[in-house]
A and B are shown apart, each in its own frame.
Chain A
Protein backbone atom coordinates (compact mmCIF):
# COMPACT_ATOMS: atom_id res chain seq x y z
CA UNK A 1 0.00 0.00 0.00
CA UNK A 2 0.95 3.63 -0.31
CA UNK A 3 0.64 4.63 3.33
CA UNK A 4 2.29 3.74 6.61
CA UNK A 5 1.19 0.31 7.72
CA UNK A 6 1.13 -0.82 11.36
CA UNK A 7 0.48 -4.28 12.73
CA UNK A 8 -1.25 -5.50 14.73
CA UNK A 9 -4.04 -2.94 14.81
CA UNK A 10 -5.09 -4.27 18.21
CA UNK A 11 -3.13 -6.21 20.79
CA UNK A 12 -4.39 -7.43 24.14
CA UNK A 13 -1.81 -8.91 26.48
CA UNK A 14 -1.32 -9.71 30.13
CA UNK A 15 0.83 -7.79 32.55
CA UNK A 16 4.43 -8.99 32.39
CA UNK A 17 4.31 -10.27 28.82
CA UNK A 18 6.53 -9.22 25.91
CA UNK A 19 5.04 -7.35 22.94
CA UNK A 20 6.28 -6.40 19.48
CA UNK A 21 4.64 -3.76 17.31
CA UNK A 22 5.59 -3.44 13.65
CA UNK A 23 5.71 -0.43 11.36
CA UNK A 24 6.12 -0.48 7.58
CA UNK A 25 6.85 3.07 6.40
CA UNK A 26 6.24 4.67 3.04
CA UNK A 27 8.81 3.40 0.56
CA UNK A 28 11.80 5.71 0.32
CA UNK A 29 11.16 7.56 3.57
CA UNK A 30 14.39 7.59 5.55
CA UNK A 31 12.96 9.13 8.71
CA UNK A 32 10.74 7.01 10.97
CA UNK A 33 9.12 8.00 14.25
CA UNK A 34 7.32 6.21 17.06
CA UNK A 35 4.78 8.04 19.20
CA UNK A 36 2.48 6.94 22.00
CA UNK A 37 -1.01 8.36 22.44
CA UNK A 38 -2.95 7.83 25.65
CA UNK A 39 -6.68 8.45 25.83
CA UNK A 40 -7.51 12.13 25.64
CA UNK A 41 -3.90 13.14 25.11
CA UNK A 42 -1.79 14.21 22.19
CA UNK A 43 0.86 11.92 20.72
CA UNK A 44 4.00 11.70 22.84
CA UNK A 45 7.36 11.28 21.10
CA UNK A 46 9.24 8.04 21.78
CA UNK A 47 12.04 7.60 19.24
CA UNK A 48 13.23 8.80 15.84
CA UNK A 49 15.26 6.85 13.27
CA UNK A 50 17.23 8.28 10.42
CA UNK A 51 18.02 5.29 8.27
CA UNK A 52 19.03 2.36 10.45
CA UNK A 53 20.19 4.34 13.45
CA UNK A 54 18.21 5.84 16.30
CA UNK A 55 18.93 9.56 16.00
CA UNK A 56 16.90 10.48 19.07
CA UNK A 57 15.59 8.01 21.65
CA UNK A 58 15.02 10.59 24.37
CA UNK A 59 11.30 9.83 24.58
CA UNK A 60 11.58 6.14 25.50
CA UNK A 61 10.15 6.03 29.04
CA UNK A 62 12.48 3.34 30.44
CA UNK A 63 14.64 0.40 29.47
CA UNK A 64 11.63 -1.89 28.95
CA UNK A 65 11.09 -0.08 25.65
CA UNK A 66 13.34 -0.71 22.68
CA UNK A 67 13.03 -0.16 18.94
CA UNK A 68 14.99 -1.37 15.93
CA UNK A 69 15.13 -0.65 12.23
CA UNK A 70 17.81 -3.05 10.98
CA UNK A 71 17.53 -2.43 7.23
CA UNK A 72 16.38 1.17 7.27
CA UNK A 73 12.80 0.33 6.35
CA UNK A 74 10.53 -1.71 8.65
CA UNK A 75 10.77 -0.91 12.34
CA UNK A 76 9.74 -2.90 15.40
CA UNK A 77 8.91 -1.41 18.79
CA UNK A 78 9.54 -3.93 21.56
CA UNK A 79 8.10 -3.69 25.04
CA UNK A 80 9.31 -6.06 27.75
CA UNK A 81 7.49 -6.93 30.99
CA UNK A 82 4.44 -4.92 30.00
CA UNK A 83 2.60 -2.91 32.64
CA UNK A 84 -0.99 -1.66 32.70
CA UNK A 85 0.31 1.88 32.23
CA UNK A 86 1.70 0.88 28.85
CA UNK A 87 -1.84 0.66 27.48
CA UNK A 88 -2.11 3.24 24.69
CA UNK A 89 -2.19 3.63 20.94
CA UNK A 90 1.30 3.39 19.48
CA UNK A 91 1.69 5.48 16.35
CA UNK A 92 4.32 5.21 13.68
CA UNK A 93 5.11 7.95 11.18
CA UNK A 94 7.55 8.32 8.33
CA UNK A 95 8.92 11.29 6.46
CA UNK A 96 11.18 12.15 3.57
CA UNK A 97 12.48 15.40 5.01
CA UNK A 98 11.95 15.15 8.75
CA UNK A 99 9.81 17.55 10.72
CA UNK A 100 11.47 20.91 10.16
CA UNK A 101 9.90 21.58 6.79
CA UNK A 102 8.50 18.27 5.79
CA UNK A 103 5.38 16.35 6.60
CA UNK A 104 5.01 13.30 8.80
CA UNK A 105 2.76 10.55 7.46
CA UNK A 106 1.12 8.61 10.25
CA UNK A 107 -0.21 5.10 10.35
CA UNK A 108 -3.51 4.28 12.02
CA UNK A 109 -1.74 2.99 15.09
CA UNK A 110 -1.52 -0.19 17.14
CA UNK A 111 -3.83 -0.18 20.15
CA UNK A 112 -2.17 -1.99 23.05
CA UNK A 113 -4.21 -3.09 26.04
CA UNK A 114 -2.40 -4.59 29.01
CA UNK A 115 -4.70 -6.46 31.38
Chain B
Protein backbone atom coordinates (compact mmCIF):
# COMPACT_ATOMS: atom_id res chain seq x y z
CA UNK B 1 0.00 0.00 0.00
CA UNK B 2 0.91 3.68 -0.06
CA UNK B 3 3.38 4.88 2.55
CA UNK B 4 5.50 7.87 3.51
CA UNK B 5 8.84 7.72 5.31
CA UNK B 6 10.29 10.76 7.05
CA UNK B 7 13.55 11.31 8.84
CA UNK B 8 13.20 10.93 12.57
CA UNK B 9 13.48 13.90 14.82
CA UNK B 10 13.90 15.89 16.76
CA UNK B 11 15.94 18.17 14.56
CA UNK B 12 17.60 20.96 16.53
CA UNK B 13 19.04 23.94 14.66
CA UNK B 14 20.30 27.38 15.46
CA UNK B 15 18.43 30.34 14.00
CA UNK B 16 19.48 31.11 10.39
CA UNK B 17 20.72 27.55 9.79
CA UNK B 18 19.79 25.59 6.67
CA UNK B 19 17.04 23.01 7.06
CA UNK B 20 16.44 19.75 5.23
CA UNK B 21 13.81 17.23 6.28
CA UNK B 22 13.89 14.13 4.14
CA UNK B 23 10.72 12.47 2.86
CA UNK B 24 10.38 9.49 0.55
CA UNK B 25 7.21 7.78 -0.55
CA UNK B 26 5.82 4.56 -2.00
CA UNK B 27 2.71 4.79 -4.12
CA UNK B 28 1.17 3.40 -7.25
CA UNK B 29 0.29 5.84 -9.97
CA UNK B 30 0.91 9.55 -9.66
CA UNK B 31 0.21 10.87 -6.18
CA UNK B 32 0.02 14.47 -5.06
CA UNK B 33 2.52 15.33 -2.35
CA UNK B 34 2.14 17.65 0.62
CA UNK B 35 3.92 19.07 3.63
CA UNK B 36 1.73 19.91 6.61
CA UNK B 37 2.90 21.71 9.73
CA UNK B 38 1.59 21.60 13.28
CA UNK B 39 2.59 24.52 15.47
CA UNK B 40 2.31 24.10 19.25
CA UNK B 41 -1.33 24.23 20.35
CA UNK B 42 -2.67 24.49 16.81
CA UNK B 43 -4.21 22.17 14.23
CA UNK B 44 -2.41 20.78 11.21
CA UNK B 45 -2.15 23.22 8.35
CA UNK B 46 -0.97 22.90 4.78
CA UNK B 47 2.51 24.31 4.22
CA UNK B 48 3.03 23.48 0.55
CA UNK B 49 2.08 20.98 -2.13
CA UNK B 50 3.06 19.60 -5.54
CA UNK B 51 0.71 17.68 -7.79
CA UNK B 52 3.02 16.32 -10.49
CA UNK B 53 6.61 15.32 -11.10
CA UNK B 54 9.20 18.13 -11.10
CA UNK B 55 6.73 20.60 -9.57
CA UNK B 56 8.16 22.73 -6.80
CA UNK B 57 5.93 23.75 -3.94
CA UNK B 58 6.91 26.80 -1.90
CA UNK B 59 5.54 28.86 0.97
CA UNK B 60 6.96 30.98 3.81
CA UNK B 61 10.52 30.38 2.56
CA UNK B 62 10.08 26.59 2.54
CA UNK B 63 10.46 24.61 -0.68
CA UNK B 64 10.06 21.01 -1.79
CA UNK B 65 10.46 19.47 -5.26
CA UNK B 66 8.49 16.41 -6.40
CA UNK B 67 11.16 13.95 -7.61
CA UNK B 68 9.59 10.94 -9.25
CA UNK B 69 12.90 9.28 -10.09
CA UNK B 70 13.91 9.17 -6.43
CA UNK B 71 10.33 9.09 -5.03
CA UNK B 72 11.23 11.98 -2.76
CA UNK B 73 9.79 15.29 -1.59
CA UNK B 74 12.41 16.75 0.74
CA UNK B 75 11.55 19.94 2.63
CA UNK B 76 14.16 22.73 2.66
CA UNK B 77 14.54 26.22 4.04
CA UNK B 78 17.58 28.38 3.66
CA UNK B 79 17.41 30.19 7.00
CA UNK B 80 15.17 28.95 9.80
CA UNK B 81 13.64 31.13 12.50
CA UNK B 82 12.61 30.34 16.05
CA UNK B 83 8.99 30.68 14.87
CA UNK B 84 9.50 27.69 12.54
CA UNK B 85 9.66 25.37 15.55
CA UNK B 86 6.88 22.85 14.94
CA UNK B 87 6.19 19.29 13.81
CA UNK B 88 6.35 18.77 10.05
CA UNK B 89 4.44 16.00 8.29
CA UNK B 90 4.99 14.75 4.77
CA UNK B 91 1.89 13.30 3.14
CA UNK B 92 0.62 11.92 -0.13
CA UNK B 93 -2.73 11.62 -1.82
CA UNK B 94 -3.02 8.79 -4.32
CA UNK B 95 -4.55 9.41 -7.68
CA UNK B 96 -7.36 6.97 -7.07
CA UNK B 97 -8.64 7.96 -3.66
CA UNK B 98 -9.34 11.19 -1.84
CA UNK B 99 -7.40 10.76 1.38
CA UNK B 100 -4.00 11.61 2.78
CA UNK B 101 -1.39 9.16 3.98
CA UNK B 102 0.97 10.83 6.48
CA UNK B 103 4.48 10.18 7.62
CA UNK B 104 5.27 9.97 11.33
CA UNK B 105 6.28 13.64 11.56
CA UNK B 106 9.57 15.38 12.28
CA UNK B 107 9.84 17.77 15.20
CA UNK B 108 11.96 20.87 14.49
CA UNK B 109 13.34 22.94 17.33
CA UNK B 110 15.06 26.21 16.42
CA UNK B 111 17.11 27.98 19.08
CA UNK B 112 18.61 31.46 19.27
Decide: B51 and A101 in contact? CB cutoff 8 A: yes
Q: How many residues on A have C-beta within 8 angstroms of the other chain's C-beta atoms?
A: 28
Q: How many residues on B have C-beta within 8 angstroms of the other chain's C-beta atoms?
A: 24
Q: How many A-B residue pairs have CB under 8 A?
A: 64
- Asked if B81 CB lies within 8 Å of chain A CBs, one says no
- Asked if B46 CB lies within 8 Å of chain A CBs, one says yes
- Asked if A83 CB lies within 8 Å of chain B CBs, one says no
Assuming the A-B contacts A42-B89, A43-B89, A106-B43, are A48 and B98 also in contact, with contact meaning beta carbons closer than 8 angstroms in the complex? yes
Which of A43, A48, A56, A104 has a CB less than 8 Å from the CB of B46?
A: A104
- Asked if B71 CB lies within 8 Å of chain A CBs, one says no
Residues of A within 8 A of B93 (CB): 99-100
Residues of chain B from 50 to 79 with CB closer than 8 A to chain A in the complex: 51
Decide: B101 and A98 in contact? CB cutoff 8 A: no
Residue of A nearest to B95 (CB): A100
Which of B42, B49, B91, B95 has a CB less than 8 Å from the CB of A108?
A: B42
- Asked if B25 CB lies within 8 Å of chain A CBs, one says no
Give complex CA distance A100, B93 in Å. Answer: 6
> What are the interface flags for B35-50 relative to A under an 8 Å C-beta threshold, 1 for contact and 0 otherwise?
0100001111110010
Interface majority SS (helix, strand, loop, mixed), chain B? loop
Assuming the A-B contacts A41-B104, A42-B89, A99-B32, are A109 and B99 also in contact, with contact meaning beta carbons closer than 8 angstroms in the complex? no
Residues of B within 8 A of A98 (CB): 98
Decide: A101 and B44 in contact? CB cutoff 8 A: no
- Asked if A68 CB lies within 8 Å of chain B CBs, one says no
Which of B4, B100, B101, B103 has a CB less than 8 Å from the CB of A104?
A: B100
Residues of A within 8 A of B91 (CB): 42
> What are the interface flags for A45-66 relative to B under an 8 Å C-beta threshold, 1 for contact and 0 otherwise?
1001010000110010000000
- Asked if A103 CB lies within 8 Å of chain B CBs, one says yes
Decide: A43 and B95 in contact? CB cutoff 8 A: no
Which of B41, B44, B49, B98 has a CB less than 8 Å from the CB of A43?
A: B44
